[in-house]
Structure 1
Amino acid sequence: MQNRFAIPLILTICLFAIGAGGVSHGRLNELLDERTVLNKHYKKQFIEDAAGFAMEEKLKLYEGKVADAYLELIEYAKQSDDTKLKKIVLRMEYYDELRGYVWDVDAAQDGFERAAGMAGIITYEQKLKELEK
């Protein structure tokens, strides 16, 4: 009778330990998928924002190349079994977002813009905490 329960108990403990060890590969890939969508949007936005600069064509080219490199890195991380790589890429992305929100708060013209920037900071600080689990 004892052996009948020992295997399922050991299996349950092992699965719990694996799950408690941090964010799963599946969840990390979901987070990376979110970054893919956002980076595709940002690529378009940054290229549009380059209009009117003295070196507009070069800036558009470089903004596109930077976005492509980010997307390539995200895709590489998604294909990898390396949890550490996935977390590094996500941290890099989240800190980039935080930097943008700090700029937004600093440049805010009114309370609404400031509140929106602060909400972004809170959101991405929470996402970073999720990665640390």
Structure 2
Amino acid sequence: MEGRKRLSNTRAELILRVLADGSDPEAVERHARWLREELEELEVDSLSALAGAESVPGAKGDVEVVGAMLVTLAQSPQLLTVLFDTVCNWLGRLGGGAPCTVRVEMNGDVLELSNASVEQQDRLIGAFVARQTR
């Protein structure tokens, strides 16, 4: 195997929660299913729905969790970036004023993605990925 990089066996577990931000929970739930379908196309080890309504630690105001999932994948900057790009592209397709936020939790660290500019999202995602892959 000379010349080949050894792949890390370190796995990352992320919890993604789609928050309805006061919008129609049924419509946002439908969108969350579309996000899940897109995430299933990525190089993830597993993707499973988290059952039951739950409160979101640190959430402000009346926020309903309409889609929560556990994603397990190799802990690499490239795969994490692809996952976040998929989430951001999905949010972008929902149009301006996206009716939801995606809250990502990993190792006690939290990142919320919603209507931030591309530059803001890139900066936040870059910092999050750097913290998680040190």
If the length of structure 2 is used for normalisation, what is the TM-score? 0.34
Q: Which has the higher helix share?
A: 1
Larger RCO: Structure 1 or Structure 2 (Cα < 8 Å, ≥ 6 residues apart)? 2
Structure with bigger gyration radius: 1
If the length of structure 1 is used for normalisation, what is the TM-score? 0.34
